[in-house]
Amino acid sequence: MERPAWAPPGIDISMPSVSRIYDYYLGGSHNFEVDREAARRAMEFMPGLPKIMQANRAVMRRAVRHALSEGVTQFLDIGSGIPTFGNVHEVAQAADPAARVVYVDHDPVAVAHSRAVLEGNELATVVAADFRKPGEILEAAELRQLLDLERPVALLLVALLHFIEDADDPYAAVATLRDALAPGSMLILTHASYEGVPLTEELTGGVVDIYQKIKNPLIMRSRSEVARFFEGFRMVEPGLVPMAEWRPETPVAQEDPYAFSGFAGVGRKA
């Protein structure tokens, strides 16, 4: 199997990775054939998967701009993946050059590529850590150097929580992160769900099966289950809604049906 020059040493390029599959859906180049094969198999069931990923990115950008408009200039993006055009630091620092961004991911390719992209940017960094160990994220030296946790932070969990199984108690991890953040902080979240997908549950289940097979289970949660992540936050208008309906900048009627898959929401800590 051909090993690209950019692949960090020690990476098992025979196992697909969620962040590299996501990169492929978005048209990126930091993925291996094994990732592309898994993505193509999933798209046989759900051809609109790239559109869903684009909708995730678009709502993230709108939410970042909203946070900045509310005076929040620090961002903690967990499960940030492989940086592609229009990432958090680009959006935030275009609006406010003093904005600070910390990315967190446990995929070595995502971390290595983030380091390369952020070289020379003193107000953005990446931490190699896992959402399931929030204490390690909060204690990371890179985070402590860049973010002031006494001031509001926007916590981004975009397309992440549906890869965290209930056995790993994602609700407790979110609560730990929430409790560490100052009043006025924000939670920006998107989550997959069977609700809103323009396909039968059986076809959508085919995609779920593929992620199960590659040892990255996709956990589809209901709207009420997703809403539980916002305990301790006051929802910002329009609340928890399909991704395309969260503060759209173009007429919703023109959106691809797949852009309404899953949910997006933003909450503010009192």
Indicate if the alpha-carbon torsion angle 140, 142, 144, 148 is positive or negative.
Answer: negative
In the chain, what are the domain boundaries?
A: 50-198+224-269
E runs forming strands in the chain = 74-78, 100-105, 124-128, 154-158, 186-191, 233-235, 241-242, 263-269
* Measured distance CA(246)–CA(190) in Å, rounded: 10
How many of the other CB atoms lie within 10 Å of CB of 33?
A: 12
Query: pLDDT tens digits, residue range 179-230?
Result: 999 999 999 999 999 999 999 999 999 999 999 999 999 999 999 999 999 9
Query: How would CATH label the architecture of 50-198+224-269?
Result: 3-Layer(aba) Sandwich (3.40)
How many of the other CB atoms lie within 10 Å of CB of 22?
A: 25
Query: pLDDT tens digits, residue range 141-181?
Result: 999 999 999 999 999 999 999 999 999 999 999 999 999 99
Q: What tokens were used for 36?
A: 């592309």
Q: What tokens were used for 85?
A: 């055009």
